[in-house]
A and B are shown apart, each in its own frame.
Chain A
């Protein structure tokens, strides 16, 4: 079992839809949770960062972390065609694993006009 599981999709939604992306993980030592967006043939771009449990909102994006369930989510409101990309969840622990990100496989999202 991989330490981070993410449904690869693909996910196709109409413009204006609410998108929900999710990841589960097995390592209870993870403390830092991130979402990256990656456009084709580009490097991952940091979208959201959350430390420990809770919610974080930034514009149309909301990240949620539920450590008790080992489950994280990213919601995109009023989705736009420019949101079409691959979304990667990533996590990191502390101590000996600091500096090492564990990634999900990524979910490919297409938002059509």
Chain B
């Protein structure tokens, strides 16, 4: 079974630009979560989607947004990029609603974004 895939894997943008990242979950998974990973802050939760609805949102500014499509694929968008947005953006998928021990999240390889 294919794992979580993320595109693109690497991205270089300049301040003020916007970017869209894509995530395809494991087949059958309907929940997709996004995380930002930086050396200074570690892994921080951005938001989580289930059945095209945002269920949870972390403490990030409104420049960070996302959506989920009917096939469970998800995109996240960052507008007006800042230098501090340089990070590894990780997508994770899981089964949900909960069924015993099948609630773990599986991560993709991430998209490394560099903002110049």
User: Cβ of A25 < 8 Å from any Cβ of B?
Assistant: no
- B96 close to A101 (CB less than 8 A): no
Q: What chain B residues lie within 8 Å of A36 (beta carbons)?
A: 107
Q: What chain A residues lie within 8 Å of B96 (beta carbons)?
A: 98-99
Q: Which residues of A contact B (CB under 8 A)?
A: 32, 34, 36, 41-46, 49, 51, 88, 90, 92, 94, 96-106
- B104 close to A32 (CB less than 8 A): yes
Taking the closest CB of chain A, its distance from the CB of B113, in whole angstroms, is 13
- A43 close to B98 (CB less than 8 A): no
A88-B43, A101-B33 known; 18 new pairs, CB 8 Å cut-off, are A34-B105, A43-B107, A43-B108, A43-B110, A44-B90, A46-B107, A49-B101, A51-B100, A92-B103, A99-B31, A99-B48, A101-B35, A101-B45, A101-B92, A101-B105, A103-B35, A104-B42, A106-B42
Task: Count residues of chain B with CB under 8 A from any CB of chain A.
Answer: 28
- By secondary structure, the B interface counts as strand
Q: What chain A residues lie within 8 Å of B112 (beta carbons)?
A: 41
- A32 close to B43 (CB less than 8 A): no
Q: What number of residue pairs across chains A and B have CB atoms under 8 A from each other?
A: 65
- A99 close to B43 (CB less than 8 A): no
Q: What chain B residues lie within 8 Å of A102 (beta carbons)?
A: 45
User: Cβ of B106 < 8 Å from any Cβ of A?
Assistant: yes
- B108 close to A51 (CB less than 8 A): no
Q: List 21 A-B contacts (CB under 8 A).
A: A32-B103, A32-B104, A34-B105, A42-B109, A43-B90, A43-B110, A44-B90, A44-B107, A46-B104, A49-B104, A51-B100, A94-B98, A98-B56, A99-B33, A99-B56, A101-B35, A101-B105, A102-B45, A104-B42, A106-B42, A106-B43
Taking the closest CB of chain B, its distance from the CB of A101, in whole angstroms, is 6
User: Cβ of B58 < 8 Å from any Cβ of A?
Assistant: yes
- A105 close to B42 (CB less than 8 A): yes
- A100 close to B106 (CB less than 8 A): no
Q: What chain B residues lie within 8 Å of A92 (beta carbons)?
A: 103
Q: What chain B residues lie within 8 Å of A99 (beta carbons)?
A: 31, 33, 48, 50, 55-56, 94, 96
